[in-house]
Structure 1
Amino acid sequence: MALKSTRYRKVEPAALNRRAVPRHEVTVSSASLKRKGSKSIVATLLDISIYGCRIEADAVFQEGENVTVTVNQQAPMKATLVWQKTKQAGCRFADALDTEILRNLTLAS
């Protein structure tokens, strides 16, 4: 049953992306993920923003795990895994990514 206020006007769908800053789709296959006390895992960077990224790798991830993300041999970025699904995981960077690094990554892919 429709509310009286929406009965005769079209209601727009809810916004699916509620992020404060946009994510930029990239495909960078020269990324790696390192867990504390283990070897680096080869990963593909799928999207990135100044606050986090989405990666894909052949590994099982744990939510809340602290990792180090390295992309294109640049300085490693400390991050926390905030979600995982199949072979993909979302990471939140400990410190905001420099906008110049973000720009270089988005232009390179």
Structure 2
Amino acid sequence: MPRHEVTVSSASLKRKGDHSIAATLLDISIYGCRIEADAVFKEGERVTVTVDEYAPMKATLVWQKTKQAGCRFADALDTEVLRRLTLAS
């Protein structure tokens, strides 16, 4: 699925047992996203991605480089949520 470039600075990531980390959503598709955060992540790490008022999304980090990381959602993102996020950016 194609990725849509966005800039949503109201995103956050949460690791198991950790506090939320402020993040910026850089691109998104129904299967995953690319985020930027002031943190170091490990490939395979499970996180929860939250964007605005939308329901938190469980994800696995599939790559990490500098302050950016790619996440694969555990469940496909609702297409209406994807539409709203891409239109809002």
Same fold (TM over 0.5): yes
Is residue 26 of structure 2 the alignment partner of residue 46 of structure 1? yes
Larger Rg: 1
Look up the match of 1:81: 61
Look up the match of 1:95: 75
Is residue 50 of structure 2 the alignment partner of residue 70 of structure 1? yes
For structure 1, the residue ranges without an aligned partner over 5 or more in a row are 1-20
Is residue 60 of structure 2 the alignment partner of residue 57 of structure 1? no
Which structure has more RCO (C-alpha within 8 Å, separation ≥ 6)?
2
Look up the match of 1:3: none
Structure 1: distance between partners of 2:57 and 2:40:
20
Q: What TM-score do the two structures reach when normalised by structure 1?
A: 0.81
Using the TM superposition, give the Cα deviation of residue 103 of structure 1 relative to its aligned residue in structure 2, in angstroms. 0.2
Matched positions, count: 89
Using the TM superposition, give the Cα deviation of residue 74 of structure 1 relative to its aligned residue in structure 2, in angstroms. 1.2
Q: Which amino acid aligns with 2:28?
A: I
Q: CA RMSD in A?
A: 0.4
Q: What TM-score do the two structures reach when normalised by structure 2?
A: 0.99
For structure 2, the residue ranges without an aligned partner over 5 or more in a row are none
